Structure 1
Amino acid sequence: MASAVSNLGDGIVRTAIPLLAITLTRDPLLVGALTSLSFLPWLLFAIPSGALVDRMDRRRAMSSANLVRAGVVTMLVAAIAIDQVSLVLLYLVTFVLGVAETVYDSASRAMLPQVVRRDQLDRANGPLSSAEVVTQAFLAAPAGSLLFAWLVIAPFVSAAVAYLLAALLILSIVGNLRPARDGRAQTGSTTIRADIREGLRWLRGHELLRGLAVIVGLVAAAETMADSLLVLYVVDTLGLPESAFGVFLVSFGVGGLLGGLAAARIAAKLGRIATLVLSSAVTGGAAIGIGLTSNVWVGAAFFGAVALSVSVFNVLSISLRQALIPEQLFGRVQGAYRTLVWGLIPIGALLGGVVARLTSVPATFVISGVLQVVLAILLWRLLRRHRLQIAAAHQPDPVPAVAS
């Protein structure tokens, strides 16, 4: 319940902020900068946040992050109320929300391996991913755009309330969710800096995850070239009103829901490596399709295909990391991994704005898709080289995982 309510707040804010931005400017570079700033914290703070999460009760980390998000959205509500909204303020709010997200996501991802066996991670991550998509796409996105069309301030008030409620619900969870620590950590003889170095060392020495981080980071950057311009594509290319933006995102919800629920079954039938590579290639192909159409229904279908393939890929890649990374190191290594992956996303968002200025928004989608297809080939070569390690990682645990 806490996760669903928090995702509801996320989805409303992510829908409403771009809509608020395009009331101030239609410049694709300035609009794309919002996406860049939302991911920049992963480049700057993912590793320190992961180290922090590896030192504290993960419930407290998640609750504190939601309280920060509630506070910063409330600040935006006040600015709207007194008609003092600016792009600079939207950039600031987006950045702070991103910083809080590094803590919240690191803690929530680290919790799952504490209570789920390695061979069950795909099945556990699938429903979680689907629940996130259902909340954000089916509920939050339409609600965010419709509330915005009704009253500009309404979606932001709703998001602030959702974050506050989620923080309270998280604190009500019973049990000890502190991470397992080695003897030095338990006696407090290590520092945050030493913990960070340990996580970086572990990732640097792991050829599979290191290579995966680089390739997935490039894929994410290419994908964000187009995604950062989605609001302009929907409103200007497809000709939909701003109030329909969130409704259009329902197609993403349909695809994401199906992908999250089907990921484990598809991997069991086709194999984990084939599924990861195929889903990456489909994402690129669908992006090309989006750029080549101005038909609302065709665009929505391609957008749904993007969501389905991204959801499948995310479920399997998250499960792979959870299976490979030691539980006591998970926050730090996950932080380092996401620094590499999500740190490239701001570059992709800014590059998308530049390309759109030089060409057009639809052309940017096509270029993004071509790059993703090329990167899918590199992904296949990496995963094929480490196929035995990938298969071994998902063997059953000697004993079932339990909360520490």
Structure 2
Amino acid sequence: MSTPASTAAPAGRNLLRDRDFLLFAGGQGASALGDALSKTALPLLVLALTGSGLHMGLIAMLTALPMMLFGVPAGAWADRFDRRRMMLWSDVGRAVLVAAVPVAALLDLPMLPVLYAIAVPVGVLYAVFEAACLSCVPSLVGRDRIGEANSLLSIGNALGYIAGPALAGVLVTGIGGAGTLGVDAVTFAVSAVSLMLIRRPLQTARDHPPAPMRRQVLEGFRFVAGHRLLRAALLYWAAITFFTAPIIICATYFIREDLGWSPGVLGSIIAVYAVGAIAGAVLASRIKEASVAVMCAGTVLGSVGLLVLSGTASLPLALGVVLLAGGGESLSAILYSTLRARLTPDELLGRVTTSAQVAAFSLKPLSVLVAGIALEATSGALTLTVIAISCITISVAFGVYSRRLPTAAPELILPPTLTPQEVVR
């Protein structure tokens, strides 16, 4: 289907005064608040129900699995269909599914089976939402402002993670983990409403009919495979994501089980991490060109903070190093997403983005499962140490290797226009 022509924010306009960008950012900020509530409350709820790190890892694995199976088709859908509608219905679906947890608690039904039952559907809707959401920014603000927009969106997300964990600590204590997940369901509804109010198209118009689905998927893979810089960055980020995917459950286990600190302290630590993420986003907004070297340095900085955290029982020191970790990891993530978007034309962006997501998250189910087993067999501290050392090693190695890659991107070859005979309606 064809879409209206993009009317990105005019050059020079302050994005903080752009109505559509603010609606988009506000919806994503609300969603980030909900994610922060969920990521704090869900591991605590599972831990309270089972006392098992393995169950934490299994539920996280089931939630992550759909990205590997549906990520690439979702990217083709995002290039083929209306991205706004994809995000809207994904939000609505997740609101309904997550709301099932507090409903089960109110009806005094077993909650652990409900958590297992919704894990895969929530993961499927997450894959669809991410495919569309991550492809919207160039059309929304213009390609020359991708870095600025990504930084502002990251700041909004980080603000959600500042308020979310502290609020989650209070809510878990007051209304329980299930009730806290009910608040998360409300944030999905807020995100859906914000999408309904955006006037600007979230993708550019096509000057030819969409290709058959299989051809679209292959075009995305061929583009990534033929672009040395993009391909190398995607592989690097996939390796980093394999080790960092279980950080939340590992840190929760370390803080609650190894150190015996309260849920409120856990919420405070995650909130301080988010403050560091804001600082990293502000720094990223001042960097003109997304640099592989700085991206790797950010990951190293964040991993050093994680390494120190795993070896301390001092709360002040823990707060200081998670501030450092938040800044480094935020800087690295923003530069990576900006580099990926700048190197990809809009009509391939959905497919390239989800190819990147699949590459990064395809091994996440295995990663969180291994982490859950490691938590049971060893400790939160040792598991976090292995994660940190692995990320430092990979980043240093990739930083050295990247010096041999061409600094300029090759010419981007867009897919040819289809003939009417090739179009599958």
TM-score in same-fold range (> 0.5):
yes
TM-score norm. by structure 2 comes to 0.85
Distance 2:39 2:118 in 1: 11
Distance 2:119 2:281 in 1: 27
Q: Per the alignment, in what secondary structure is the counterpart of residue 376 of structure 1?
A: helix
Q: How does 1:376-391 map to 2 (within 5 A)?
A: 376-389=395-408
Which residue type is aligned with residue 381 of structure 2? P
2:169 equivalent to 1:145: yes
Give the root-mean-square deviation of aligned CA atoms.
Answer: 2.2
Distance 1:224 1:312 in 2: 17
Counterpart position of 1:286? 305
Q: Per the alignment, in what secondary structure is the counterpart of residue 239 of structure 1?
A: coil
Q: Per the alignment, in what secondary structure is the counterpart of residue 324 of structure 2?
A: helix
2:156 equivalent to 1:162: no
Counterpart position of 2:357? 338
Counterpart position of 2:274? 253
Q: Report if the CA contact (8 A) 2:284-2:335 is conserved.
A: yes
Counterpart position of 2:201? 176
Q: CA deviation at 1:275?
A: 1.1
Q: How does 1:95-134 map to 2 (within 5 A)?
A: 95-134=120-159
Q: CA deviation at 1:289?
A: 0.9
Q: Report if the CA contact (8 A) 2:220-2:348 is conserved.
A: yes
Q: Per the alignment, in what secondary structure is the counterpart of residue 228 of structure 1?
A: helix
Counterpart position of 2:238? 217
Counterpart position of 1:264? 285
Distance 1:357 1:74 in 2: 30
Q: Report if the CA contact (8 A) 1:226-1:364 is conserved.
A: no
Q: Report if the CA contact (8 A) 1:54-1:179 is conserved.
A: no
Q: Report if the CA contact (8 A) 2:58-2:369 is conserved.
A: yes
TM-score norm. by structure 1 comes to 0.89
1:85-113 per-residue CA deviation (whole Å, 9 max, x = no partner) reads: 34342233233222222222222221111
Which residue type is aligned with residue 216 of structure 2? D
Q: Per the alignment, in what secondary structure is the counterpart of residue 384 of structure 2?
A: helix
Deviates more, 1:33-42 or 1:293-302: 33-42
2:107 to 82, 86, 94: 82
Structure with bigger RCO (C-alpha 8 Å, 6+ apart): 1
Counterpart position of 1:396? none
Q: Per the alignment, in what secondary structure is the counterpart of residue 24 of structure 1?
A: helix
Counterpart position of 2:20? none
Distance 2:323 2:61 in 1: 23
Counterpart position of 1:236? 257
Counterpart position of 2:87? 62
Q: Report if the CA contact (8 A) 1:9-1:160 is conserved.
A: yes
Q: How does 1:353-364 map to 2 (within 5 A)?
A: 353-364=372-383
1:304 to 323, 336, 341: 323
Q: Which of structure 1's runs of 4+ aligned residues deviate more than 4 A? A: 390-393
Q: Per the alignment, in what secondary structure is the counterpart of residue 23 of structure 1?
A: helix
Gaps of 5+ in 1: 394-404
Q: CA deviation at 1:387?
A: 4.7
Q: Per the alignment, in what secondary structure is the counterpart of residue 403 of structure 2?
A: helix
Counterpart position of 1:199? 220
1:345-379 per-residue CA deviation (whole Å, 9 max, x = no partner) reads: 22221222222333221011111111111101222
Distance 2:129 2:245 in 1: 22
Q: CA deviation at 1:204?
A: 2.1
Q: Report if the CA contact (8 A) 1:277-1:377 is conserved.
A: yes
Q: Per the alignment, in what secondary structure is the counterpart of residue 99 of structure 1?
A: helix
Q: CA deviation at 1:390?
A: 5.6
Which residue type is aligned with residue 212 of structure 1? A
Number of matched pairs: 386
2:379 equivalent to 1:365: no
Counterpart position of 1:22? 47
- Cα gap change, 1:21 to 1:240, in 2 (>3 Å): same
Which residue type is aligned with residue 66 of structure 2? P
- Cα gap change, 1:177 to 1:367, in 2 (>3 Å): closer
Gaps of 5+ in 2: 1-25, 413-425
2:300 equivalent to 1:275: no
Counterpart position of 1:316? 335
Q: CA deviation at 1:191?
A: 2.6
Q: CA deviation at 1:221?
A: 1.3
Q: Per the alignment, in what secondary structure is the counterpart of residue 22 of structure 1?
A: helix
